[in-house]
């Protein structure tokens, strides 16, 4: 008899959610997690809660408040004198938030009768799992069903070896104890822009080096151009087509680094006090699978799964960052729920076409569905409706009126195909459209709904009206 009905390896957003849902469905569930704290106690939440989504958002919020107090309060008639920043206190607050949330997961495990198992899990053949704790002690557990949820780790590149002192990855960038005078960021993706924003707001001179010539190529390009303009105005020096070729640490600990890169004009060099390398993440599948376990990986290290996240071995599933699709916490969580439901005998599925994405700069950038570029490439005829936050009474009252809402709808059926937002509370506004699109809504349906006034969500309403030339608070474009 197996030790567990369900055994999950990894307690990040995909793993801990899968474990909790499986236990709620009456399945005897265990969750293996290797992360431990300074007291050698297990810590749940994975990258997201410990060194990713949550701590970065804590620093983003703290730094945004500092920026507002430094530059924007006088707009509201508020005088505050000279504003200072205590970086260690900001980092300590971040740690407090992390500890509260990771401790909350431990409480949820207890409440739902999930057994937490401390150690690194490795899948063996015949649905056996070897668990090695931090002392090196091993045990072997068995389960009728196994869910692999090992997550991802930052990608390292040879020209800039990480030392977590001067040259850091996204984890190290959350631990600076002072504002760097000059900060280099390699990679103008989600992580690079967010972390660059944190330290630019606090006074660092930030230069972002991006190897490709396009800015945010996966984002709707009208939104990407607006983002480039706004972020540049905020102080991010974004250099596209800049391929980093080498780095040299200056003599003496903490004395900075010289980075060499190439662009269309040839070789160039820049000196930085700190350098953040954030060129993407890769699935963490090494040491997860025994050679004879039967689970197949692709050439990039991702575990191969079908639409239901089942692997090549019956009863073994994989979810989250170690499988195809965007590396997003909410995508992994929903996969975890889907797998738990299916193991319990319920028929569950997931709509991968409606996974929203967010960049938590200020203003936020959020999207769901197709971009205008994708629709053109696919030959889909569509209508566009857009509404600027500069015409939103609520945004103007808050002195936060940069950006716009853009909605794309099928020309023949009016079904909403995509929504793209850069602006205040973009993540929350886009989510309303995610729900609408799940029910195959039309732009007209959104336009016929009643929205609160004054509220930021009115921008979504007006953009939907604009799709069919019915916007009230801006001039409508003539349809072709």
* Catalytic choice (76, 228, 453, 461): 453
Cα separation values, 142 from 14, 20, 316, 463, Å:
21, 19, 12, 54
Secondary structure of 12-55 in HEC code, one letter for each residue: CHHHHHHHHHHHHCCCCEEEEECCECCCCCECCCHHHHHHCHHH
User: How far from 60 is each of 119, 144, 193, 365, 397, CA to CA, in Å?
Assistant: 32, 42, 11, 14, 22
C-alpha to C-alpha distance for 79 and 81, rounded to whole angstroms: 6
Q: Which residues pair with 152 in a beta bridge?
A: 283
Say if residues 459 and 405 touch (Cβ distance below 8 Å).
Answer: yes
Q: Are 404 and 423 in contact (CB under 8 A)?
A: yes
Rounded Cα distance, 340 and 270, in Å: 50
Please indicate whether residue 362 is annotated as part of the active site: no
Burial 87-117 (b: 16+ CB within 10 A, else e): eeebbeebeebbeebbeebbebbeeeebbbb
Q: Can you state the angle between helices 87-112 and 53-71, rounded to 10 degrees?
A: 140
**How many angstroms from the chain centroid is the CA of residue 349?**
22
Q: For residue 465, give the nearest of 441, 447, 440 by alpha carbon.
A: 447
The three-class DSSP label of residue 114 is strand
Q: Per residue in 343-356, is it b (16+ CB within 10 Å) or e — as a string?
A: bbeeeeebeeeebb
Measured CA to CA, the distance from residue 40 to residue 31 in angstroms comes to 17
**Which residues are catalytic, by number?**
453
């Amino acid at each position: 008899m197996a030790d567990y009905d369900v055994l999950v390896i990894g307690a990040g957003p995909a793993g801990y959610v899968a474990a909790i849902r499986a236990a709620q469905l009456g399945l005897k569930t265990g969750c293996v997690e290797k992360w431990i704290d300074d007291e050698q106690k297990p810590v749940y939440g994975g990258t997201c809660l410990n060194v990713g989504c949550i701590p970065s958002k804590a620093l983003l919020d703290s730094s945004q408040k500092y920026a507002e107090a430094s530059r924007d309060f006088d707009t509201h008639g508020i005088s505050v004198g000279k504003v200072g920043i205590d970086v260690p206190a900001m980092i300590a607050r971040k740690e407090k938030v992390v500890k509260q949330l990771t401790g909350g997961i431990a409480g949820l495990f207890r409440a739902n009768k999930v057994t937490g198992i401390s150690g690194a899990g490795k899948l063996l053949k015949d649905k056996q799992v070897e668990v090695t704790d931090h002392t090196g002690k091993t045990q072997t557990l068995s389960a009728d069903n196994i869910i692999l949820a090992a997550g991802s780790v930052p990608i390292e590149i040879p020209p800039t070896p990480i030392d977590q002192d001067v040259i850091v990855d996204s984890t190290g960038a959350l631990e600076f104890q002072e504002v760097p005078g000059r900060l280099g960021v390699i990679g103008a993706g989600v992580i690079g822009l967010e972390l660059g924003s944190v330290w630019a707001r606090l006074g660092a001179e930030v230069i972002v080096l991006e190897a490709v010539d396009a800015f945010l190529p996966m984002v709707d390009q009208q939104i990407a151009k607006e983002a480039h303009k706004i972020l540049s105005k905020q102080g991010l020096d974004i250099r596209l087509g800049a391929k980093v070729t080498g780095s040299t640490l200056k003599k003496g600990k903490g004395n900075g680094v010289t980075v060499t890169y190439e662009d269309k004009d040839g070789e160039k060099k820049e000196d930085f006090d700190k350098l953040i390398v954030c060129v993407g993440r890769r699935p963490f599948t090494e040491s997860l699978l025994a050679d004879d376990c039967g689970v197949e990986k692709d050439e990039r290290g991702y575990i191969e799964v079908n639409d239901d996240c089942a692997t090549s071995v019956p009863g073994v599933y994989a979810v989250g960052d170690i499988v195809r699709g965007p590396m997003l916490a909410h995508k992994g969580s929903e996969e975890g729920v889907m797998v738990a439901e299916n193991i319990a005998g319920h028929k569950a599925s997931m709509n991968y076409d409606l996974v929203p994405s967010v960049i938590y700069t200020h203003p936020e950038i959020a999207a769901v569905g197709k971009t205008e570029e994708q629709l053109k490439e696919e030959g889909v005829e569509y209508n566009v409706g857009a509404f600027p936050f500069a015409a939103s009474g609520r945004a103007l009252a808050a002195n936060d009126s940069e950006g716009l809402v853009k909605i794309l709808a099928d020309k023949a059926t009016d079904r909403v195909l995509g929504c793209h937002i850069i602006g205040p509370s973009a993540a929350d506004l886009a989510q309303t459209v995610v729900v609408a699109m799940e029910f195959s809504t039309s732009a007209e349906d959104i336009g016929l709904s009643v929205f609160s006034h004054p509220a930021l969500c009115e921008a979504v309403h007006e953009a939907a009206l604009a799709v069919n030339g019915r916007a009230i608070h801006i001039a409508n474009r003539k349809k072709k």
